[in-house]
Structure 1
């Protein structure tokens, strides 16, 4: 269903004033946030606000026509949206859980959290990009073919499989071995042997009956 609710006469009447609002934003003398604060919902009822609403409806109509009638445009838009969602997935993997309430009470602390998360996300994507470029160079050197840009643009540097996001846990058992296992301390070396044995299984037997049973596992830790 369509509704012809775009008023061209109202857009024409406020066009000069609307240009004066948009020009400082274009030149950088005024931010879009400041302009929206001044001419946002609080300015409802003013002529420039009402005319801006109809201009927005006109641009949205053009966008929807392109989206539904142009498959290439629709595909590119979906590609951009998927890329943005992939970045959000990286951010959710880096920061698990909710932001502490004491950090959400002030704009400065919330901006610091957002900036820190953006910095770590960019570091992850930069690391992935470096290794992706190295892999592309190796593939081209081995095959002699140049990878097409149309294929490379479909690969996003947002993979997390090769990144340890939680650090490495180190348990210095040797430092506290005399306290934890005083009866097994022998000089500078402690050997702990653990075995999970299934009754009737021979460690050197490879017959059909023994292969069905769980294998014997020996773990020796040298400290």
Structure 2
């Protein structure tokens, strides 16, 4: 039996169904166990908070990229609404990709300069920052590798790490 069929059968049953009651109680046990682990472990709280911050950073990026209409889609047609949402997703993904490419370049540069790169720290990196992005600037949709347009050079790591 598939999970969806199982759930639909339980939802069609009367509310007093013993199996439904047992599954609800089991879900509450799992939730209670998680809450106790969360309260007990500072490391777990930090990891969850870091992930929540990344999600909020992504929402802030999307809000920042949305230039008009105060973040509201003001189109009445479903297709136009989908187009607006798809364009926002495309631009957001372009910023995330751009940041990821530059973070990879920075990590490669640091590694080539002899700095130890601990992959355990990668979970703290986020490509959702946007303070360095000029959203009103020029846009080019050509592949920089094909057009020969070089990427902006990285800063000197010695000057930024020591200050």
Using structure 1 for the length normalisation, give the TM-score: 0.50
1:90 and 1:121 in contact (8 A); partners too: yes
Residues 1:114 and 1:146: Cα distance change in structure 2 (over 3 Å): same
Q: Which residue of 2 aligns with 1:100?
A: 74
What is the rounded CA distance, in whole Å, between the counterparts of 2:119 and 2:135 in structure 1?
30
1:42 to partner: Cα distance? 8.0
Q: Which residue of 2 aligns with 1:183?
A: none
Runs of at least 5 residues in structure 1 that lack an aligned partner in the other structure: 1-19, 169-223
1:83 to partner: Cα distance? 1.1
Match of 2:129 among 151, 159, 163: 159
Q: Which residue of 2 aligns with 1:5?
A: none
What is the rounded CA distance, in whole Å, between the counterparts of 1:87 and 1:64 in structure 2?
26
What is the rounded CA distance, in whole Å, between the counterparts of 1:86 and 1:130 in structure 2?
18
SS at match of 2:125: coil
More RCO (CA 8 Å, sep 6+): 2
- Superposed CA offset, 1:92-149 (max 9, x none): 111242111515xx4x66555444433322221111010111112122222x122222
Taking the TM superposition and a 5 Å limit, the aligned residue runs for 1:180-219 are none
Q: Which residue of 2 aligns with 1:218?
A: none
Q: Which residue of 1 aligns with 2:61?
A: 90
Using structure 2 for the length normalisation, give the TM-score: 0.65
Please identify which structure carries the higher strand content: 1
90-99 vs 128-137, which deviates more?
Answer: 90-99
SS at match of 2:76: helix
What is the rounded CA distance, in whole Å, between the counterparts of 2:20 and 2:87 in structure 1?
36
Runs of at least 5 residues in structure 2 that lack an aligned partner in the other structure: 139-163
Match of 1:117 among 76, 88, 91: 88
What is the rounded CA distance, in whole Å, between the counterparts of 1:88 and 1:156 in structure 2?
13
SS at match of 1:91: helix
1:40 to partner: Cα distance? 9.0
Residues 1:39 and 1:123: Cα distance change in structure 2 (over 3 Å): farther
Q: Which residue of 2 aligns with 1:74?
A: 45
Match of 2:102 among 120, 123, 131: 131
Taking the TM superposition and a 5 Å limit, the aligned residue runs for 1:21-60 are 24-25=2-3, 30=4, 38=8, 45=15, 47=17, 48-60=19-31
